Structure 1
Amino acid sequence: MRTSRSFAMVAAVAALALTMSACSSGDEPSSSPSESAALSADAQAALDKAFTGFGSDLSDLTSVTPKADQKFYVMSCGESNPTCHAPAAAMVDAAKAAGWTGEIVDGKLSPEGFATAIRQATAAGATVLVPIGISCSGAAAAFQEAKAAGVTIVGGGGQDDCSPKVWDSERLWLPADDQPTPYGIFGAFGTLQADYVFGKTNGDPKAVVINMTSQPWGQLITDSFSDELKKLGGGEVLAQVDVTDPETADGSYIQKVTSALLANPDANALIVPTDGYLVNGLAAAINQAGLADKLVVVGNFGSEAALDMIRSGTPGITATIGDAQDWEAWGSIDTAIRVLDGKDPAYIGQTIQAVDADNNMPDSGAYNGAIDWKSAFLTSWGK
């Protein structure tokens, strides 16, 4: 998998270089969006909203006792992707803090891998299973088998879109009345991405949008981004690039995205549904092609690797919408604890907000919100 990604990145950069050489007119390169004139009031308001973000303080988290002797498994969407691996590892830590055992099974970024990993966990005697990064329809038969075997299934960010529903509970974010869009937390990601690029381009984003098609949440991010631009009253989506999990796994998404950027030379923003794309080669391809200075590039999830790139000024990534992934990982364990205890799941309310080099950036590590959520969970579990 590593070799395929590297080859795809080299091929993409080579194609970009050839095309740019052939099309060069001798014009001076456009200035960076960050070097534009003073922001309008509307652009500044949108940027302020992006940095403020959404979330809760867990002040209403009630006490619950973890059921003893649970054998917990988390299905990572793909251990090669940092936005799959990090929450999976955090979830194992949370399960152990609750007094359970914890193991990771690797979905390997493919529907076949998801199903195999779920069946592996079921065969190993899992009593609790959390899938990260996929919805129920991504491996419906395997989830149904796990349920029939008596496994308690709790969402790890995806939706139970099977009919009839199979999971015991999704992980809950905020009550519907407190959410910024009808698309749930994934709608909030797209909304904040739109707010950020609207502000950074002074109200005139011309965006290429990567749309993750293998999971329903990818379209929610894409739709909410477009909806927010309409509400803001400026900018446009020049192109949508659909990317599947297999294209992510073999690295071919890099060629696909860079080709779209070349076909839309007026683009000044790239909207990316997950930091993993940027970390695993896309940012490097953008930079090596000479496009980094003209694009505001915004990822999602606030992974440690992406934040390290932003901290160090690595070209090809401008910002990410930080999602407190460790917080939400512990939230899935909290949800499982409450389900096993016969209680209603709590609203986890993890903070999400735009993070760039100058705003909301932690000193080190991944983005993890602004409150001591770990103590809140441990206190509620009696630990």
Structure 2
Amino acid sequence: MSRPLFRSRPARALAASALAASLLGACGAGEKVAPVSAEATAAGAAGVQQAKESLAGWSKAPTWPKVTPIGKPVDLTGKKFTFVALGDQIPVIHAVGVGVTEALGAAGATVKICDGKFNPTAVADCLKAAGDEKVDGVISAFVDYQMAGPAFDALAAKGVKVIVGGVAPSGGRKADANLAFYDNTPRVSALHEAMSEAAIADGGTSTNVLWVRLMDSTTTTGASAQGIAKFKALCPSCGIAETEFTTANVDKLATSVSAALVSNPDTNAVIVPVDSFVPPVLQGILSAKFAGKVKVFSSSSDLAGLQRVKDGQQTTDLGTPVLFEGWKFANGMVQLLAGQEVEKGSDFVTRAFTKDNVGGLTLDAKTYLTDDWFGGGAYKQTFLSAWGVK
């Protein structure tokens, strides 16, 4: 696995440490890189300015996007739904389920959350249980269709409305009257690109980043690739290395991060795609004796993440308004029930949390499951009005 290498590492020393890193799934070692050109330096300066402007804009509370009205409103009163989470123990995924429950509940329905435990068998069991319970609809979150294709199809064959949410279509499956995809991969990719911008805005053209890639699904795999491409485009003169992991092997993450840092001693920034995985990354940083040498950038704005920002352990957290995301998933189900095309989730809504704006926030578990950190929930009435709910 060949990756670009930082530009001050002697080739001989890299070769030895690269072998150790590759054994642990870390990438980033390779051949000596040619000196940076004047063109790359100039491009990097422009990219840094762009990144700083983006971060400044994201530091404010977001403006909620418009919602497409439903042509033929659907009565959801008394209907039953199941929300199947890829892994409910991840705060951001659980909170999206809370948002779905709140949204459909406001329209008169009930929602049960089922934990897929990052396991295809558990996901399939959730889908089968929903069918056995004769629910009206199922919304999955971040589960690739091809992970449980037969179980998804069995539900649709029974007439259950199914939204395969948070992922792009896969396995050759096309949308039909009973099954559709709520594809929010454009939003997820934009969030990963924003993390690269946050790192460059902070470190400038001297940024040497370790990108920690989450490979759980086609969504996370593709989004991290987009984030890396954005980093390279904005700052060709910067250094970049990568390491990969999945939630199933998160116990090895600290070791792989440590190995990647040792292999790339000029690292001064680490990008972690989701707040939940920052703790093992911090362990890896300590193990490699890089504490105080690198800054950490992440996203999803869970409670622990914002507390780390406040305490100075994390530089930036690109926030995910989790309840709003849940309403977007629910909107996909309403569109499917109404016989309309389920729109992509292409609206990029975030807030950049830094030490400059996190101090005035109430940081507790209760507030996390509200819209307080994002300026309030005015979007909710917009959705209800679009659905024709009085």
Aligned-residue offset at 1:198: 0.9
Normalised by the length of structure 1, the TM-score is: 0.77
For the residue of structure 2 that corresponds to 1:154, the secondary structure is strand
1:318 aligns with 2:315: yes
1:309 aligns with 2:308: yes
Identity among equivalent pairs (%): 21
Correspondent of 1:58 among 55, 65, 68: 65
Deviations 1:279-303 (A, max 9, x none): 5x43355357653422221112222
Correspondent of 1:154 among 163, 188, 193: 163
Deviations 1:112-140 (A, max 9, x none): 32222222222222221111122212322
Q: Which has the higher mean CA deviation after the structures are superposed, 153-162 or 189-198? A: 153-162
**Consecutive unaligned residues in structure 2, runs of 5 or more:** 1-43
Q: Which has the higher mean CA deviation after the structures are superposed, 209-218 or 237-246? A: 237-246
CA distance in structure 2 between the aligned counterparts of 1:231 and 1:41, rounded to whole angstroms: 11
CA distance in structure 1 between the aligned counterparts of 2:74 and 2:331, rounded to whole angstroms: 10
Residue aligning to 1:88: 97
Partners of 1:71 and 1:100 within 8 A in 2: yes
CA distance in structure 2 between the aligned counterparts of 1:346 and 1:56, rounded to whole angstroms: 19
Residue aligning to 1:179: none
Give, as a single letter, the amino acid of the residue that structure 1 aligns with 2:320: D
CA distance in structure 2 between the aligned counterparts of 1:361 and 1:337, rounded to whole angstroms: 38
Q: How do 1:53-132 and structure 2 match up within 5 A?
A: 53=58, 57-59=64-66, 61-62=68-69, 64-132=73-141
1:343 aligns with 2:340: yes
Aligned-residue offset at 1:142: 1.9
Change (3 A) 1:289 1:258: closer
Q: How do 1:199-210 and structure 2 match up within 5 A?
A: 199-210=201-212
Residue aligning to 2:350: 352
CA distance in structure 1 between the aligned counterparts of 2:257 and 2:121, rounded to whole angstroms: 25
CA distance in structure 2 between the aligned counterparts of 1:292 and 1:92, rounded to whole angstroms: 41
Q: How do 1:273-284 and structure 2 match up within 5 A?
A: 273-278=273-278, 281-283=280-282
Q: CA RMSD in A?
A: 2.9
For the residue of structure 1 that corresponds to 2:118, the secondary structure is coil
Q: Which has the higher mean CA deviation after the structures are superposed, 366-375 or 186-195? A: 366-375
Deviations 1:310-353 (A, max 9, x none): 23x152x2222212221010111122112212234456635124
Change (3 A) 1:158 1:292: farther
Aligned-residue offset at 1:196: 0.9
CA distance in structure 2 between the aligned counterparts of 1:154 and 1:51, rounded to whole angstroms: 35
Partners of 1:51 and 1:359 within 8 A in 2: no
CA distance in structure 2 between the aligned counterparts of 1:161 and 1:51, rounded to whole angstroms: 36
Give, as a single letter, the amino acid of the residue that structure 1 aligns with 2:65: L
Correspondent of 2:226 among 207, 224, 227: 224
Normalised by the length of structure 2, the TM-score is: 0.75
Give, as a single letter, the amino acid of the residue that structure 1 aligns with 2:307: D
Aligned-residue offset at 1:148: 1.8
**Consecutive unaligned residues in structure 1, runs of 5 or more:** 1-38, 174-182
CA distance in structure 2 between the aligned counterparts of 1:86 and 1:288, rounded to whole angstroms: 32
CA distance in structure 1 between the aligned counterparts of 2:357 and 2:382, rounded to whole angstroms: 25
For the residue of structure 1 that corresponds to 2:292, the secondary structure is helix
Correspondent of 2:382 among 364, 367, 376: 376
CA distance in structure 1 between the aligned counterparts of 2:67 and 2:141, rounded to whole angstroms: 26
Give, as a single letter, the amino acid of the residue that structure 2 aligns with 1:267: T
Q: Which has the higher mean CA deviation after the structures are superposed, 117-126 or 184-193? A: 117-126
Partners of 2:163 and 2:179 within 8 A in 1: yes
Partners of 1:241 and 1:257 within 8 A in 2: yes
CA distance in structure 2 between the aligned counterparts of 1:70 and 1:287, rounded to whole angstroms: 51
